[in-house]
Structure 1
Amino acid sequence: MAQVVDTSDFYNGLKFKWQDSVWEVLDFQHHKMGRGGATVKTKVKNLFTGSIVETSFRSGERFERIIFDEKPAQYLYQEGDGYVFMDLDSYDQISLSKAILGDAVLFLKDNLDVNLEMYEGKVMTIELPKSVELKVVRTDPGFKGDTVSGSGKPAILETGLTISVPMFINEGEVVVVDTRTSQYIERAKK
């Protein structure tokens, strides 16, 4: 039996069926307009094509919720435009494009364990761990006395991701990054 959701159930990451495709909510805002009905302005990603669309739905509009099957996998390497994963159950190798993976490629490093999210036997996207450890490859050196709380500096990580780190972080150090927000969490434990 299909699970039905309406616009009041929207949250970032919700997957639903619309226009004969599967979509993921990236962002949404409820808007109440005077005497008219409320609307929900959304930014959604088509999981078949990778395209991102901004659209509005009437408040209360209903959709079929999609729940993916998950398969454990491990990221192996990048080959051309493809990112190669190994299914940990069957040991098959699966190559996924950047269009499918989106910004997740900024967190991929060799041997990272992920979940392949499947719909009707096809990989739609991957689920990353909540945090990953990445090496800082470029950042300005910190200076003694730069300890103002809340201040930070940009750092480029080994995957190409740029984040803000505290002033005491130097090149070559490994930091823990939240994969949902792309924010620095802490210096990695040695």
Structure 2
Amino acid sequence: MISSNDFRTGTTIEIDGAVWRVVEFLHVKPGKGSAFVRTKLKNAKTGNVVEKTFRAGETVPQAVLEKSTLQYTYKDADDFVFMDMESYEEARLNAATIGDRVKYLKEGMEATVITWNSQVIEVELPNSVVLEVIETDPGVKGDTATGGTKPAKVETGAQVMVPLFISVGERIKIDTRNDSYLGRE
């Protein structure tokens, strides 16, 4: 149990059988009446955001999340198979569980899998990945870094906007959080 006075950004709590992460909190002490804590909560599984008010000192169950680093090994039909490198146990996750970051999964890549009550809540990929460009328009002499961008398809199938001078076969670094080009590798 955790007191509403102890809420911090990132704290995970359990409400109505679901895990919620505190996005914002504000301790309000009005001149008249009792103090309260106004929060903005994000559902860890669905991503929905709600605003909820708690009485000051009210206790709620704290959700204990377990983080484990698993390695992506291969795709089997609709499932993505991850392996725990310590126990060599396999975990099968579907694309819906992984989310839109599935487009950056590459064999051998390590990901952080967050579970709650033996249920996968979230899969976190590294903030940046290095992938090879397999399809893009050819670069032309005179293309510069500040000239503009063009679409490029990388080895995992993801499409990223890259500078005009990037050509097929080059390895580029991509930010997985906002799908942006970071540089050549």
**TM-score normalized by the length of structure 2:** 0.74
Structure 1 Cα separation of the partners of residues 138 and 39 of structure 2: 45
Structure 2 Cα separation of the partners of residues 83 and 3 of structure 1: 38
Out of 21, 45, 51, the residue aligned to residue 57 of structure 1 is: 51
C-alpha contact 2:44 2:121 (8 A) present in aligned 1:
no
Question: CA-to-partner distance for each residue in 1:55-94, whole Å, 9 max, x for gaps?
Answer: 5425779976645221121000111111000011210111
Name 2:2's counterpart in structure 1. 2
Structure 1 Cα separation of the partners of residues 103 and 166 of structure 2: 20
Structure 1 Cα separation of the partners of residues 9 and 182 of structure 2: 27
Q: What are the within-5 Å matches in structure 2 for residues 128-147 of structure 1?
A: 128-147=125-144
Out of 109, 116, 119, the residue aligned to residue 116 of structure 2 is: 119
Q: CA separation of 1:70/1:184 partners in 2, compared to 1, >3 Å: closer, same or farther? A: same
C-alpha contact 2:69 2:84 (8 A) present in aligned 1:
yes
* 1:167 has 2:164 as partner: yes
Does the residue aligned with 1:126 lie in a helix, a strand or coil? strand
Name 2:99's counterpart in structure 1. 102
Structure 2 Cα separation of the partners of residues 172 and 150 of structure 1: 21
Q: What are the within-5 Å matches in structure 2 for residues 39-78 of structure 1?
A: 44=42, 47=45, 51-53=46-48, 56-57=50-51, 66=63, 68-78=65-75
Q: Which runs of 5+ in 1 are unaligned?
A: 29-38
C-alpha contact 1:154 1:162 (8 A) present in aligned 2:
yes
Q: Judge which range, 141-150 or 82-91, deviates more.
A: 141-150
Residue type matched to 2:157 in 1?
G
* 1:22 has 2:19 as partner: yes
Q: CA separation of 1:84/1:22 partners in 2, compared to 1, >3 Å: closer, same or farther? A: same
Question: CA-to-partner distance for each residue in 1:137-185, whole Å, 9 max, x for gaps?
Answer: 2111121112161621111112221111111111121111112222111
Residue type matched to 2:122 in 1?
T
RMSD: 3.1
Q: CA separation of 1:140/1:67 partners in 2, compared to 1, >3 Å: closer, same or farther? A: farther
Residue type matched to 1:141 in 2?
P
Q: Radius of gyration: which is bigger?
A: 2
* Aligned-pair identity (%): 33
**TM-score normalized by the length of structure 1:** 0.72
Q: Judge which range, 55-64 or 92-101, deviates more.
A: 55-64
C-alpha contact 1:17 1:64 (8 A) present in aligned 2:
yes
Q: CA separation of 1:18/1:153 partners in 2, compared to 1, >3 Å: closer, same or farther? A: farther
Q: CA separation of 1:23/1:135 partners in 2, compared to 1, >3 Å: closer, same or farther? A: farther
Q: Which runs of 5+ in 2 are unaligned?
A: 25-37
Out of 140, 153, 157, the residue aligned to residue 154 of structure 2 is: 157
C-alpha contact 2:2 2:62 (8 A) present in aligned 1:
yes
Residue type matched to 1:105 in 2?
V
